[in-house]
Amino acid sequence: MRLLFLFIILLISSVSYSQFTVLLTNGEKFLLSNYRYNDFGTAIIWKNTFQETQEVDIDLVFSIIDASGREEVIYKTDTSKEDFMTVDQMRDFVHGESDAREKYKCNWCFVTGVLIGTASPFITPLIGIKSILYSPLLPTATSSGIGFTGASRRKIAKQNPEMVTNEHYVLGYCEVSSQKKLKSTIIGSGIGLAIGVIATIFLNLQPETPSFGYTSIKIK
C-alpha cells in the first residue's frame, strides 16, 4: 500500500513539475521536467520518475514546447526526398497524427476481428484447407484489408471540420488511424481465433451419441 501511495505521489509530482512537451514526428507527446542533448547532439536525454535515464533520437522529434508555449522546432526539411515536407506542412501532418491518437476509435474493427477469427477454424475446412494450422490465414487477410485504409474524410470532418481540407493534416490522421484499425483488428482476430480453435478442439473431442445396444437397420 505504501509503495502504491509513493508511486502516485511521484507520478503527480513529475506531472506537476513538467516544463516541456516533446512532440514526436509520429504524433506522440510526452512531458519532461528537464532534458539535455547527448554529446553528439543526436538525441535528447532525460530521467524518468524512477530516475532512470531515457533518450529519444533527435530525428524522431518534431518540436519541444516549454511551459510558456515557446516552441523549439527540431524537425529539418530533407529536400533530398521526393515527398519532403516543409516545417509548416510537417506540423499539420503531426497535428493530424496526434488528433488520431487521441480521438480515433474503431470498435467495429475489433468486433469484426473477433467474428472472423472465431469463424476461421470452421470456414477453412469448407474451402478444402483441413489443417487447423492454416486458420490464421483468413484473419490475417482481413486485418490487412481493414488496415489498408485510414479514416474517411467524413469521420475526420466530424472531429475537426476546420482541418478536413488540409491535405497534410488528413494524411497524418489517416496514417495513424490506419495503424489503429490494423492493431484493433489483429487483437480481435487473435482473441476470436483462440476461441474458434478451442471450440473446434472441444467439438472434435465430444463422444459420439451412445446407441444403448441398438444398431441401426437400413431399409431398402
Residues 94-110: pLDDT tens digits?
A: 999 999 999 999 999 99
Instruction: Give the pLDDT of residue 12.
Output: 46
Among candidate residues 31, 51, 73, the one where a domain is terminated = 73
Q: Do residues 68 and 136 share a domain? A: no
Q: Do residues 24 and 94 share a domain? A: no
Asked whether residue 32 is domain-assigned, the answer is: yes
pTM of the predicted structure, to 2 decimals: 0.77
**What is the crossing angle of helices 167-204 and 87-103, to 10°?**
30
Q: Give the residue, 11 or 75, on which the prediction is more confident.
A: 75
Asked whether residue 5 is domain-assigned, the answer is: no
Total number of domains in the chain: 2
Q: Do residues 36 and 59 share a domain? A: yes
Expressed as residue numbers, the domain containing 66 is 17-73
